[in-house]
Structure 1
Amino acid sequence: MSTMSNSTTGELFCPLLQTMQEHSLNNNTKANLVVVCIHGLFSCLGILENAIVLWVIGFRLRRRTVASVWVLNLAMSDFLATLTLPLFTSYLYFSHSWELGNPLCKTQASIYFLNMFVSAFLLAAISLDRLLMVVKPVWSQNHRSVGGAWKVCVLGWLFAAINTLPYLLFRSVTKKRDGRNLCYHNFGLILSSQATLERDCKVRQAATAISKLFLAFLFPLVVIAASYMQIGVSLRNRDKRRKQSATRLTDALIVSNKNEASETAKTPTSTKNIFLKPVTSGPALTLTPTTFSPTTPTEPKQGQLSQSFTKMVTFVIAAFALCWAPYHIFCMIEVSAQYWDNLYIVEVGLPLATTIAFLNPVLNPILYAFSCPHFCVRIRQSLGAVFDGLVEEGGGLLMMPGRGIRAHIRRKSSRDVSLGTPGTPGGSDSPCKRPDIQPPFPLSLTSDGHKGNDMEKAKEEEEEEEEMQNGT
C-alpha cells in the first residue's frame, strides 16, 4: 500500500486512513435518520440522568462516605461523556461527516477515551476496596477514609489523562474523496517522515489498540474478577468458622446446664426449688446464645447496605464489560486490517461498536437507582432518598429525609394501639399519663397552646428518621 501526502499542506496520511478516504459508505438516508433519532434520545436522557446523579450525590448528602466518592466520580466521568453525545449525533446527522471543526473533533475523542479509562480504573478500585473491607476489616476501619478515596480518584483521573494524550495529539479531521469529513486518528501527524510513515503508523496504531485493550478492559476485569472470587472465598470461610463457633458454644451451654442440674439435685429440697427457677424459666438459656449470636440488631442493617452497594457495582461492571467489549474487538480487527483486507468490516462495525459503548454512561444512572433497596417507595418520598441506601455506610445521609408511606401507616397503627390500651408503654410516654407526675393542667392547654402537639410532632419526626435509616 503506497503512502501519500496532502499536496497543499504537506500533511502525511497513514495507509489505512488513505483507504478510508477513498471509501464511501453509509449512504442510506432513512437508516441514518433512525440512528440519529435514537442517538438524540440517548443524548438527552444521558445528560439529564447524570446531571441528577451529580446533584443528588454532590449536593444532597449531609455526610460524605467512601462509597459516595466512588459513585460521584463515576457520575462525573459519565456526565462528561454524555455531553459529547450531541456532537456524535451531529456527525451521524450529516451522513457520517464531521462538520464541527478540528478542535471539537479532538475534544470529543479525548473525552470519549477519558471516560473509558476512568471508568475502568474506578471499577477496579471499587472492587479492591470491597476486597479490603472483607479480608482486612480492622485495617479498613482504621485506614479507609473519604480523603484516601479522593486521592485514589485523582490518581485515576491522571492515569486516564496520560493514556488519553495520544488520541488528543493524533486526532484530526481528514477530507474524503466524496467531500465528507472524517474525524479519525492519523498516526502520521507528529514526528513522522515519508520514509518512516508506514512503520510509524503500524507501530502507533498497534500500541494504542493494545494499550486500550489491556489497560482499559482486560486488566481491570481481571482485577475485578479476582477480587470478587477472593471475597466469595473469604465469606465462605468466615461463615464456616461462625457455624463452628456457634456449635461449640451450644455444646458448652448444654454441658453447663447439665452440670448445674446435677449440682442442684444434691442440694436440699428448699434450696433446690429456689435455684431451679432461673434454670427452668428459660431466659438463662435463651439470653446467652443471643448475646454471642453473630446477627446482632445492628448487623442486618449494615449487611443490607453493603449488599445493595455490591449489587450496584456488579451491575455496573457487567454493563461496562458488555458495552465496551465490541469496541475493543473491532479495534483489534482494525489493527489486523493493515495485513488483511477486512477494512470494510471495520468501517461498518466500528461506528456501531462506538454507539454501543456510548450506552454505558447512559445506563449507569439507571443501575444506580434500581440497585437502591426499596426503590419504588423511596422514589415517592424524595429524589435524594433514592440514593440514600446506595452510598450510606451507617446512618442517614440526606439533609431532608422524606416521609415514608409505610412508616406513616406503622406509626399511626402503633399510636392507635397505645392510646386504646391502658397501661401500655406507648401510652405512658407523656408526663400527663404517668401516675407519679400530675401536672395542674394538661400540657396542650398551656400558655403557648402547642407543647403537647410539638412533643408529638418531634416524636413522629424521630420515628420517621429512624425508619429512613433502617431502609424501610
Structure 2
Amino acid sequence: MSVDYIEYDDYTPNNETENNITIDGIHSSSSQTSLTVFLVTANIIICVMGLGGNALVIWICGWKMKRTVVNTWYISLAISDLMFCAILPLEVYYTITSHWPFGLVFCKLTSSALFLNMYSSVFLLVLISTDRCIMVSFPVWSQNHRTVTKAFGAVILMWVLSGFMTLPSLIVRQTKVHGSVTQCYTGYMSHSRHKAVVLTRFICGFLFPILIIVFSCLVLCVKLKSLTMKSTKPYKVIAALIVSFFCCWVPYHTFVLSELDLENNTVEVLNTGLKVGATLAAANSFMSPLLYVFIGNDFKHTLKRSFSSRIEEAMAEDLRTGGFTHSRSKVMEIA
C-alpha cells in the first residue's frame, strides 16, 4: 500500500538533495516485485473478508438485534472498517500498476481512509473500554444514565473528532504526472511539517488512547477480582479487540517514526517496512468479525455452526444482563 509514502524529491532533511529517490518508485527490483505480489494478495483477502464480515456484523446488530449501547459501539466499529475495505481496491490497483487514474479527490480519500479508520477504531475502543469500566465501577449510576441516545451522541462526536484529526492526511496527499503515468503521493514539502503530522498522529491516534484503554482495563481487572461473573466472554472480546489493534498498528507507527530520521535509515528498509506495516494495519479492519465468532470457543465446535449465528450469539452474550456477585453475595445486575 502507498498510504503514507513520501515523495523524497520534494524535501530531504537538512535541505540535502536526493534526486530520483522515491518511496513510491515506479520501477522495483525482483525482491520488491515478490513483496508486491504478497501484499496485493494480502490486501485482496483483507478487502473480501472485511467487506463480508463487517457487512454481516452491521446487518445482525442493526436489523436482527435490539439496539443497545454495546451494539451501537460495534456497529460504528464495523462501519469504520467497512468504509476502509470499500476503498481498498483502489490502493490494490495502484500497487499493481504504479499508475493512479482516479484523480486527485480519490487520491486524497484513499490516503485518509486508513487514518480515519485508525482514529475511529481507537476512539471507539476507548469508548468501549471506558464504558465497561464505568459499568463495573458505578453500576447504579450506569443503569440510570447509560442510554442508546447518549451512546449515539458519543459516536457522532467520535466521528467528528476522527474526521478532524484526518484532515492533515487529506491535505498533504497530491498527484504528479510523469509522462503517461500519474502518481499519488504524500508531499509534506518540509521536514518540520512531516514531523508534526507524524507525531500528532502517533500521540493522538495511538499513544494517548492506548494509555486510556490500559488504565480502564487495569481498573476493570481490579474491580472484577471481587466479583463473580456469569460470563467472561464480553471482556475477552474487548481484550481481543484491543490486542488486535495494538499488534496491527505498532509496526506501522514504528516505521513511520523511523522515517523521520532518514540519515540513519535506508530508503529500501523504510519502503519495505512501511508497505508491510500499512498492510498489517489494514488487516485490523477484518479482525473484529473473526474475534466475535471465535473468541473463547472451541474451534471445531465453532466451525459446525453458521458464521452469522456465532456473531449474533457473541453480541447477544455481550449485551445480555450480566450477573456480578460480591464476595458478600450481594447481586448487581448490569445491563
Query: Which interval holds the TM-score relative to the shorter structure?
Result: 0.7 to 0.9
Answer yes or no: is the 8 Å Cα contact 1:32–1:93 preserved in 2: yes
Is 2:320 the partner of 1:394? Answer: yes
Is 2:21 the partner of 1:22? Answer: yes
Match of 2:87 among 65, 84, 87: 84
Q: Summarize the Cα distance change of 1:147–1:13 in structure 2 as closer, same or farther, 3 Å threshold.
A: same
- 1:98 alignment partner, SS class: coil
Aligned pairs for 1:445-460 within 5 A: none
Instruction: Give the TM-score, by structure 2 length.
Output: 0.82
Match of 2:142 among 116, 119, 140: 140
Instruction: Give the TM-score, by structure 1 length.
Output: 0.59
Q: Summarize the Cα distance change of 1:175–1:353 in structure 2 as closer, same or farther, 3 Å threshold.
A: farther
Determine which structure has greater relative contact order: mean sequence separation of CA pairs < 8 Å that are 6+ residues apart, divided by chain length. Answer: 2
Is 2:282 the partner of 1:358? Answer: yes
Answer yes or no: is the 8 Å Cα contact 1:21–1:175 preserved in 2: no
Match of 2:125 among 111, 123, 126: 123
Percent identity over the alignment is 30
Answer yes or no: is the 8 Å Cα contact 1:56–1:384 preserved in 2: no
Answer yes or no: is the 8 Å Cα contact 1:371–1:390 preserved in 2: no
Query: Could you tell me how far apart the structure 1 residues matched to 2:76 and 2:292 are?
Result: 13
Structure 1: gaps (5+ residues)? 1-11, 189-200, 240-294, 396-472
Aligned to 1:41: 45
Query: Could you tell me how far apart the structure 2 residues matched to 1:327 and 1:366 are?
Result: 22
Q: Summarize the Cα distance change of 1:87–1:364 in structure 2 as closer, same or farther, 3 Å threshold.
A: same
Match of 2:36 among 28, 32, 44: 32
Query: Could you tell me how far apart the structure 2 residues matched to 1:382 and 1:46 are?
Result: 14
Query: Could you tell me how far apart the structure 2 residues matched to 1:91 and 1:115 are?
Result: 20
- Cα shift at 1:186: 1.2
Answer yes or no: is the 8 Å Cα contact 1:110–1:168 preserved in 2: yes
- Cα shift at 1:15: 3.5
Amino acid at match of 1:205: H
- 1:183 alignment partner, SS class: strand
Match of 2:241 among 304, 311, 316: 316
Q: Summarize the Cα distance change of 1:374–1:86 in structure 2 as closer, same or farther, 3 Å threshold.
A: same
After superposition, the C-alpha distances for 1:21-79 in whole angstroms (9 at most, x for unaligned) are: 53445333455334323322322222111111111111111x21111011100000000
Aligned to 1:249: none
Answer yes or no: is the 8 Å Cα contact 2:100–2:181 preserved in 1: yes
Is 2:70 the partner of 1:67? Answer: yes
Query: How many pairs does the alignment contain?
Result: 304
Q: Summarize the Cα distance change of 1:179–1:154 in structure 2 as closer, same or farther, 3 Å threshold.
A: same
- Cα shift at 1:393: 2.9
Amino acid at match of 1:73: S
Answer yes or no: is the 8 Å Cα contact 1:105–1:172 preserved in 2: yes
Query: Could you tell me how far apart the structure 2 residues matched to 1:354 and 1:223 are?
Result: 24
- 2:319 alignment partner, SS class: coil
Match of 2:266 among 321, 332, 342: 342
Amino acid at match of 2:70: A
Query: Could you tell me how far apart the structure 1 residues matched to 2:244 and 2:177 are?
Result: 35
Amino acid at match of 2:11: C
Query: Could you tell me how far apart the structure 2 residues matched to 1:88 and 1:142 are?
Result: 46
Query: Could you tell me how far apart the structure 2 residues matched to 1:354 and 1:381 are?
Result: 31
Aligned pairs for 1:127-276 within 5 A: 127-175=129-177, 181-188=182-189, 201-236=190-225, 238-239=226-227
Q: Summarize the Cα distance change of 1:111–1:309 in structure 2 as closer, same or farther, 3 Å threshold.
A: same
Answer yes or no: is the 8 Å Cα contact 1:26–1:32 preserved in 2: no
Structure number with greater Rg is 1
- Cα shift at 1:169: 1.2
Answer yes or no: is the 8 Å Cα contact 1:77–1:118 preserved in 2: yes
Query: Could you tell me how far apart the structure 1 residues matched to 2:39 and 2:186 are?
Result: 23
- 1:228 alignment partner, SS class: helix
Q: Summarize the Cα distance change of 1:308–1:106 in structure 2 as closer, same or farther, 3 Å threshold.
A: same
Amino acid at match of 2:275: P
- Cα shift at 1:350: 0.8
Query: Could you tell me how far apart the structure 1 residues matched to 2:149 and 2:276 are?
Result: 40
- 2:175 alignment partner, SS class: strand
- 1:13 alignment partner, SS class: coil
After superposition, the C-alpha distances for 1:415-445 in whole angstroms (9 at most, x for unaligned) are: xxxxxxxxxxxxxxxxxxxxxxxxxxxxxxx
Query: Could you tell me how far apart the structure 1 residues matched to 2:306 and 2:93 are?
Result: 38
Answer yes or no: is the 8 Å Cα contact 1:372–1:390 preserved in 2: no
Structure 2: gaps (5+ residues)? 1-8, 322-335
- 1:77 alignment partner, SS class: helix
Query: Could you tell me how far apart the structure 2 residues matched to 1:378 and 1:355 are?
Result: 27
Larger proportion of strand? 2
